Amino acid sequence: MIGLFTAEEVRAAEEPLLAATPEGALMQRAAAGLAAVCGRLLGPVYGRRVALLVGSGNNGGDALFAGARLAGRGARVTAVLLTPDRAHGAGLTALRRSGGRVVPARNPGAEAVVARADLVLDGMLGIGGRGGLRQDAAVLARAAAAGAGITVAVDVPSGIDASTGEVDGVAFPAMHTVTFGAVKRGLVVGEGRGHAGQVHLVDLGLDPHLPTPTAWQLTDADVAARLEPPSAGDDKYSQGVVGVLAGSAAYPGAGVLCAGAALRTRPGLVRYAGGAADGVRAAWPEAIVTEGGPGGAGRVQAWVVGPGAGTDDAARTVLAEVLATDVPVLVDADALTLLAREPDLVRRRSAPTVLTPHDREFARFGTEVGTDRIGAARRLAADLGAVVLLKGDATVVADPDGTTFVNGTGTADLATAGTGDVLSGIAGAVLATSAATGLPAVEAAAVAAHLHGRTGQLAAQRGPLVAGDLVRRLPEAVGRVRGVGPAVLGDSPA
């Protein structure tokens, strides 16, 4: 798993390392790693045009020293200085000695330098930056976005909050971010994720000084280790039994998608007891379909309740019935609307509960998500005593104790009707199998989000997707995560 850290945690970890190493040694280590990544991105370095956007802080120094290394390999490097009188002195000297040029940001030709560059390196602000970019910096960021060059951020893209991912105004649009020592939370969550691009981690030796992470990102290998395949001694009951209460006469597709996703995730057995029995029977003969609600479905190891189920009195009765059981329950869609009216239904539970709201559903519980998505998910989880899976571009999963996972997979193509029903089916199946393996509910939910995102990426390779494509591609996605089949998908961004 990849640990995720706040800016304050990283700064605190840097202090003893800075005290124990010669002055400037850590910056040289960072600059060497930064230059190496830039060199790989450029391919042949000789003759390539590199623009450095340089602020007054240490990130500007990192950019200057990295630029000096690239200039030493024959790149044509120009540093654009936002504050010429406060730029890193030793870095400037190193760049000039290697043949690099320097121009002030307010020079009439500075924008053209950026626009024509093959690679633009952003060292304007560091991890302590707050708020959007000021005018001079914003002009350079826009020039970088409009140009054809590769855009690379030093540690964090200037203009994003390194701890929350908040972007308040203009921020640097990085295709790649080379971060030092530890992955900052703001690179993988909120709007920051969209500005960070692919994240490359350069090891500075911070690990002994970092606290134990409370936020994580799973890799494919982590997920594969938590998706245990059946063994020779297993049967349909030992592999997990999931009950599905989704769909209705008005929305039968939700039941079909949710049940199909649960089946394709491969628990031992799926029992369907929702309001779209005919549709599920026709689509999925593998499911055991009963009518009359959860009471007649038989024993399960986890329930999924809510997608397309309605919000009338009958739906409320079903929700209360499953929340009164002693097995894990995943609550989604219409059931979230009902639960927001009676949150004590979940507060009273002793068995694990997973809630899967998007931002508008989250707001029904009394507060907006805001710009700190990790903080918001943690607050609602602590208030309700449940795992909260906050859906979005970077889905956040938090448990009442504050343990958090930020999902690193997915695609904007998933923003279409029915994909949430598929996620619920996947998560219900993982919860049911986790009942036998002892996997905590927060990890089960994080595994489901990762697998859902991977499936979306796989389905989107063939063009615009619909929710049914995810159900069809789920077995292949599971195989890819486990390392079976062509490795055409990347791992987590860090």
Nearest to 360 by CA among 346, 344, 340: 340
The reply to whether 310 sits in an annotated binding site is no
The reply to whether 485 sits in an annotated binding site is no
Strand 396-398 to 387-390 pairing: antiparallel
The reply to whether 308 sits in an annotated binding site is yes
The reply to whether 456 sits in an annotated binding site is no
The reply to whether 39 sits in an annotated binding site is no
The reply to whether 410 sits in an annotated binding site is no
The reply to whether 413 sits in an annotated binding site is no
What the block records as the tokens of 312 is 């009338």
Cα 75 from chain centre: 35
Question: Is the Cβ–Cβ distance between 187 and 156 less than 8 Å?
Answer: yes
The reply to whether 158 sits in an annotated binding site is yes
Question: Is the Cβ–Cβ distance between 431 and 261 less than 8 Å?
Answer: no
DSSP character at residue 160? B
**Virtual torsion, Cα 204, 210, 212, 216, nearest 10 deg:** -50
The reply to whether 60 sits in an annotated binding site is yes
What backbone phi and psi angles, to 5 degrees, belong to 304?
Answer: -115, 125
| Cα angle: 287, vertex 468, 436; to 5 degrees | 45
The reply to whether 391 sits in an annotated binding site is yes
The reply to whether 297 sits in an annotated binding site is no
The reply to whether 468 sits in an annotated binding site is no
The reply to whether 132 sits in an annotated binding site is yes
The reply to whether 195 sits in an annotated binding site is no
The reply to whether 33 sits in an annotated binding site is no
Neighbours of 61 (CB within 10 A): 27
Rounded Cα–Cα distance for residues 45 and 369 (Å) = 44
The reply to whether 370 sits in an annotated binding site is no
Alpha helices (runs of H) in 284-372, residue ranges in sequence order:
313-323, 334-341, 344-347, 359-363
The reply to whether 420 sits in an annotated binding site is yes
The reply to whether 58 sits in an annotated binding site is yes
The reply to whether 2 sits in an annotated binding site is no
**Could you tell me which residues are annotated as the binding site?**
58-62, 122, 126-132, 155, 158, 254, 308, 358, 391-395, 420-421
**Could you tell me which residues are annotated as the binding site for K(+)?**
59, 122, 158
**Could you tell me which residues are annotated as the binding site for (6S)-NADPHX?**
58-62, 126-132, 155, 254, 308, 358, 421
**Could you tell me which residues are annotated as the binding site for AMP?**
391-395, 420
